[in-house]
Amino acid sequence: MELNEKDIKKLLVMFMILILGVLVFLLIKPVIFSIIGGLLLAYIFYPIYKRILKYVKEKNTAAGIVSLIVVIIIGILLWLTIPVIAQQVFEVFRLSQTFDVSTFIPQLFPQASQDFIAQMTIAFNSFASNIASGMLSFLSSFLLDLPKIMLQALLVAFVFFFALRDGDQLGVFVSEISPLSKSQNHFFVKKFKEITDSIVYGQVIIGLSQGIVAGVGLIIFGVPKALFLTLLAVILSIIPMIGPGLVWIPIAIYFISTGNIFVGISFLVYNLVLTSTIDNILRPYIVAKRSNLSSVVVLIGMIGGIFIFGILGLIIGPLILAYLITILKAYREKTLSALFQE
């Protein structure tokens, strides 16, 4: 089949778009996670921006106010917590090297044999050492890469500001270049928004709240290294089917087994009443009428996302998996081809 001049021009345009697309990807690849982070922050705080915009009536001012508030909050939190967390990580590492778990195991398992105690001691020491070493390695890398991290944080702030200010135009632009038909494009935007809300608000925001409540309990009951354990509780709370119980249950058992029965039971009741139920209290308000994703899908996406994308993978991984499942459902229901029809 012979190509005419019009076909040749189309192929040349497509080739140029492909080349430019590859070059743009290579250009933004080193900072792509900063861009995604800024967009995710803008997505989370966009409702607040819209509320402020109603009063100030000027986009730059509204976006600047929200950006300033977020930067101040994050800056204060990092300024106050990083030195304490770093100190507590070093203390946990030192404690893991000196703590003799063999004296604690017989209190939990009175009938345990010496072989069982020895195996549990080896397993615990190895686990504690790996966790503490990983934390130390992360802190060392963080300090070494601090100039690069600050540059990435600056980019996140810029993306955050402009995504807030130009969010409406960005949505219109994406809709215009979408290959989907207008009706199906509206359906997919609505569906993807539900999925994103379910993960961002249902897992991250609620998990963050649950971890903070657990951390408040650690501070109230005078648990050592409370800030370090709070950070661990927050991370575990975000991950579905795990939760902060992996932090507060062993501490409650430790209190009870060492004779602090009243403190241990009070700590247990606090977490059962507040930490464990906050999910049920917040979820109907925060995630009401949003997509109910399977916990297995979210868990697999988070774990895989962490390995590929790092900490942002907690959000990016489940989103990718959920979006793929949505498209596969459309294919299964034989509606995929209809998506591209006017």
The pTM of this model reads: 0.63
Identify whether residues 217 and 306 lie together within a single domain. yes
Identify whether residues 161 and 34 lie together within a single domain. yes
Identify whether residues 265 and 162 lie together within a single domain. no
Identify whether residues 195 and 170 lie together within a single domain. no
Domain final residue pick, 177, 212, 238:
177
* C-alpha torsion angle, residues 162, 168, 170, 175 (rounded to 10): 170
**Within a domain: residue 252?**
yes
Reported as a single tens digit per residue, the pLDDT across 269-291 is 888 888 877 776 766 666 554 55
**Within a domain: residue 51?**
yes
Take residue 105 and report the two structure tokens written for it. Answer: 């195991």
Coil/strand/helix, residue 238: helix
Domain final residue pick, 177, 198, 232:
177
Identify whether residues 204 and 169 lie together within a single domain. no
**Within a domain: residue 13?**
no
Take residue 279 and report the two structure tokens written for it. Answer: 């999910």
Identify whether residues 151 and 228 lie together within a single domain. no
Identify whether residues 126 and 249 lie together within a single domain. no
Whether the per-residue pLDDT at 341 is higher than 60: the answer is: no
Range of the domain at 83: 30-177
Q: How many domains does the chain have?
A: 2
Coil/strand/helix, residue 251: helix
**Lowest-confidence pick of 57-61, 159-163, 176-180, 272-276:** 176-180
For residue 335, the model assigns a pLDDT of 60
**Within a domain: residue 299?**
yes
Identify whether residues 72 and 163 lie together within a single domain. yes
Identify whether residues 134 and 249 lie together within a single domain. no
8 Å CB contact between 252 and 244:
no
Identify whether residues 241 and 287 lie together within a single domain. yes
Coil/strand/helix, residue 248: helix
**Within a domain: residue 15?**
no
Identify whether residues 194 and 317 lie together within a single domain. yes
Domain final residue pick, 134, 150, 177:
177
**Within a domain: residue 241?**
yes
HEC-encoded secondary structure of 135-169: HHHHHHHHHHCHHHHHHHHHHHHHHHHHHHHCHHH
DSSP string, 62-108: HHHHHHHHHHHHHHHHHHHHHHHHHHHHHHHHHHHHH--GGGTHHHH
**Within a domain: residue 128?**
yes
Identify whether residues 276 and 225 lie together within a single domain. yes
Reported as a single tens digit per residue, the pLDDT across 185-208 is 666 667 667 767 777 777 777 888
**Lowest-confidence pick of 57-61, 238-242, 252-256:** 238-242
- Find all residues with CB under 8 Å of 305, minimum gap 6, and list them: 312, 313, 314, 315, 316, 317, 318, 320
**Within a domain: residue 4?**
no
Reported as a single tens digit per residue, the pLDDT across 111-143 is 667 777 777 777 777 776 676 666 667 667 777
Q: Please work out, in degrees rounded to the nearest 5, the angle formed at the alpha carbon of residue 206 by the alpha carbons of 89 and 42.
A: 90
For residue 292, the model assigns a pLDDT of 58
